[in-house]
Structure formats: C-alpha cells, structure tokens
Amino acid sequence: GESVGLHLPTLSVQEGDNSIINCAYSNSASDYFIWYKQESGKGPQFIIDIRSNMDKRQGQRVTVLLNKTVKHLSLQIAATQPGDSAVYFCAEKIGYSTLTFGKGTMLLVSP
C-alpha cells in the first residue's frame, strides 16, 4: 500500500511485484525529465530519462511514462527486488536551466 510518512510518501511492496512511483511536476514548459534512485548515505543514481516529445521510454526493468496533459510522470519497476529499496526522485528541466527535484518517494521492498 501507499502511505504518507513523517517526511516522505512511502510505497511498500512484496518482492516480485511491479512498483509504480508517481510524480507531479510543476512546470508545463519542462522539456526533460529524469528519475534518480538514492540509497541511504549515497548520492542520487541515474535510472532513466525522457524528453517531452516522448510519452514512454523503457530501460532494463524500468519504464517511465509522461503525461503532459496532467503534468504527471511515473516510474514503473518490474519484478521489484529488495535491492530496489531506496528513495526515488523525479526531476524536471527547461532547456538550458538546471534540474528541479521533486520531494521523493520511499520504496520499501519486502522479501
């Protein structure tokens, strides 16, 4: 299920389930979006990115979906593993500007 924790929304899933992490971005002019995974005590790790001229992009076990009409971005993780447990951030960018990060979602995967 999904719950709002003290600091971060949290998604708890069982190993092997598919996970969907959602992100509402702020600027309709944003033309580039990126997902990062951050484990405790480490820097953000690049997962996948997508440009605004696309609505779907697939990587290894991950898919990013972009819905510009409602300014919504999602990250789908197939066959979630305990090693996927981390905080996931979406970020957006307009042209040459810098990245603006969302608040993050904690993913907890139970064996």
Partner 1 sequence: DTGVSQNPRHKITKRGQNVTFRCDPISEHNRLYWYRQTLGQGPEFLTYFQNEAQLEKSRLLSDRFSAERPKGSFSTLEIQRTEQGDSAMYLCASSFGSQGETQYFGPGTRLLVL
Give the binding site for partner 1 (CB under 8 A). Answer: 6-8, 32, 34, 36, 41-46, 49, 89, 91, 93, 95-96, 98-104
Nearer to partner 1, 51 or 79 (CB): 51
**Torsion sign over Cα 38, 42, 47, 51:** positive
Task: Provide, rounded to whole angstroms, the least separation between the CB of residue 77 and partner 1.
Answer: 19
Who contacts 70 (Cβ-Cβ below 8 Å, separation ≥6)?
none
Task: Provide, rounded to whole angstroms, the least separation between the CB of residue 27 and partner 1.
Answer: 14
DSSP string across 43-105? --EEEEEEETT-SEEE-SSEEEEEETTTTEEEEEESS--GGG-EEEEEEEE-TTS--EE---E
97, two tokens? 């500007």
Nearer to partner 1, 77 or 106 (CB): 106
Task: Provide, rounded to whole angstroms, the least separation between the CB of residue 2 and partner 1.
Answer: 17
> Residue for token digits 């697939």?
58
Nearer to partner 1, 51 or 56 (CB): 51
Nearer to partner 1, 21 or 36 (CB): 36
Task: Provide, rounded to whole angstroms, the least separation between the CB of residue 106 and partner 1.
Answer: 9
